[in-house]
Amino acid sequence: MYEQEFNKLFELAKNKVDDIEIMLTSGKSFSVRINQQSVESFNYADSKGIGIRIIKDGKVGYSYTEEFSDEAFALIIDEAIASSEMVENLEPVKFDNYPDIPEQLNIYSAELDKVKVEDKISLAQKLESLALEADKRVFNVPYAAYGDGYSYSKIANSKGLNKESKSNYCSAFVMVLAQEGEDKKSGMDFKMSRDFKDIDPVKIVDKAVKQATDLLNGATPASGQYPVVLSNEMMASLLSTFSGIFSAKSVQEGKSLLKGKIGEKISDPVVTILDDGLHPDGMVTSPFDSEGYPSQRTPLIDDGILKNFLQNTITAAKDNVKSTGNASRSYKGSLNVSTTNLVLQPGKATVKDLIKSYDRVIEVVSLQGLHSGANPISGDFSLAAEGFLYEQGERKEALSNFTISGNFFQILKDIEKVGDNAEFNMQSCSSPAVLIKQLMVSSK
């Protein structure tokens, strides 16, 4: 697909630049939201964009367009050259024709593209009706939504690379509000998959409703240090928030405190973390990265020892290692390093085991403020939390209006047990629940 557009760009760039890379993403997506059983909104998207990266006199230039016309293509070649002239960073950059991964990935489902719109609507309607029926205290369902999408990406460069890939997904999301007396609490859950039949509205609704209703009329804990169990979702959220610490780019820019720690023990031995660009259940699984480099599995922390940083070819050249296939960029942006599917490996302990580990344990099931209350560089965080107090393994009461604070690097060291219930969050990060020796809990 899009051979004509790519050929045109290669032709326009000829003799004007030393090398050129062209990336295209296009896609179609659909979403429906239900309110009071009728369609609140339908969204159809049909999007595409081309981004180019050029090398001229050793400098890199970027430009992009969402308008596909000869004029727009000519303009972006000129803009990319002009942009390269401003650049003062002369780190060596090269394009190459990278090999393909040996295996065939299962990231596109033809079946999913055949699901009827009526079935999608009725799934979203079911999310709302089930939520309202599930518990008298549920008084509002602000979100009952289904969405799916298809995306295509293509990358080619003047060294002969030419790769394409397509994938699709579907997802369902529900958010409920529950009230008892004056107190209101919210609960949410989602499911993402490539198989429509995987989406079980009963399961999603049960979890969201249980979370909201269980949290109603919670007490506030006394401030102090507590052993804390972070639920699988919350640990995954925290890990996503701090995932930048594993990027070689962050390390090289002095933005990661893991600098110089490869081979050192940086966490408790129960912790094993890897970046898995080929994970069968991952939603960002892809055969190649944004430079066309083959995707792979990269161990980050093995039994507590820091093994690797995530690399693109530019950071890898500086560190004198190979790329790990973690180059990332959108057609609008510049080359970076990102995680793909980030996985904290599950252990054997059940959540009950984790909770029973101390006489008093706080289980945290909701965190707010991850984009503002967490400092991705220092690792410090202070976050609004909700959860439950357990004594001798028995749930004593719900807790709200408190914060937990600490430092992510310290958490890695303080993880004492790892649960068996790993699940992916919406940022493609998978984690089980974990037991943390202690965190500061603040309230009154």
Q: How far is the CB of 11 from other proteins (least distance, A)?
A: 20
Structure tokens at 388: 């439950």
Please say which residue, 274 or 409, places its beta carbon nearer to other proteins. Answer: 409
Site for other proteins in 190-229 (CB under 8 A): 223
Binding residue (CB under 8 A) for other proteins from 57, 113, 369, 391: 369
How many angstroms separate the Cα of 250 from the Cα of each of 121, 163, 172, 242, 338?
Answer: 43, 28, 34, 11, 10
Q: How far is the CB of 174 from other proteins (least distance, A)?
A: 13
Q: What is the dihedral of CA 221, 425, 211, 127, to 10 degrees?
A: 160
44 sits near other proteins (criterion: CB under 8 A)? yes
378 sits near other proteins (criterion: CB under 8 A)? yes
Please say which residue, 319 or 353, places its beta carbon nearer to other proteins. Answer: 319
Phi and psi at 79, nearest 5°, equal -65, -40
402 sits near other proteins (criterion: CB under 8 A)? yes
49 sits near other proteins (criterion: CB under 8 A)? yes
Three-state SS string over 370-397 comes to CCCCECCCCCEEEEEEEEEEEECCEEEE
404 sits near other proteins (criterion: CB under 8 A)? yes
Q: How far is the CB of 164 from other proteins (least distance, A)?
A: 19
How far apart are alpha carbons 291 and 335 in whole angstroms?
Answer: 8
Structure tokens at 75: 């303009």
Phi and psi at 109, nearest 5°, equal -115, 115
Q: How far is the CB of 72 from other proteins (least distance, A)?
A: 6
How far apart are alpha carbons 115 and 217 in whole angstroms?
Answer: 42
Can you point out the beta strands (E) in 119-182?
Answer: 138-157, 162-180
Binding residue (CB under 8 A) for other proteins from 110, 260, 371, 394: 371
Stretch that binds other proteins, among 152-160, 166-174, 296-304, 400-408 (CB under 8 A): 400-408
Q: How far is the CB of 12 from other proteins (least distance, A)?
A: 15
Between strands 360-368 and 224-230, the pairing is parallel
Please say which residue, 116 or 371, places its beta carbon nearer to other proteins. Answer: 371
Whether 397 and 215 have beta carbons less than 8 Å apart is answered as: no
Phi-psi region of 359 (alpha: psi -120 to 50; beta: other; left: phi over 0): alpha
Structure tokens at 64: 């992009």
Please say which residue, 179 or 296, places its beta carbon nearer to other proteins. Answer: 179
How far apart are alpha carbons 83 and 444 in whole angstroms?
Answer: 54
Q: How far is the CB of 245 from other proteins (least distance, A)?
A: 11
Binding residue (CB under 8 A) for other proteins from 2, 64, 152, 293: 64
Site for other proteins in 136-155 (CB under 8 A): 140, 142
356 sits near other proteins (criterion: CB under 8 A)? no
Residue 19 bridge partners (DSSP): 55
| SS3 category, 9 | helix
Please say which residue, 351 or 370, places its beta carbon nearer to other proteins. Answer: 370
Q: At a CB cut-off of 8 Å and minimum separation 6, what does 136 contact?
A: none
Q: How far is the CB of 102 from other proteins (least distance, A)?
A: 34
Site string for other proteins, 6-35 (x = CB under 8 A): -----------------------------x
3 sits near other proteins (criterion: CB under 8 A)? no
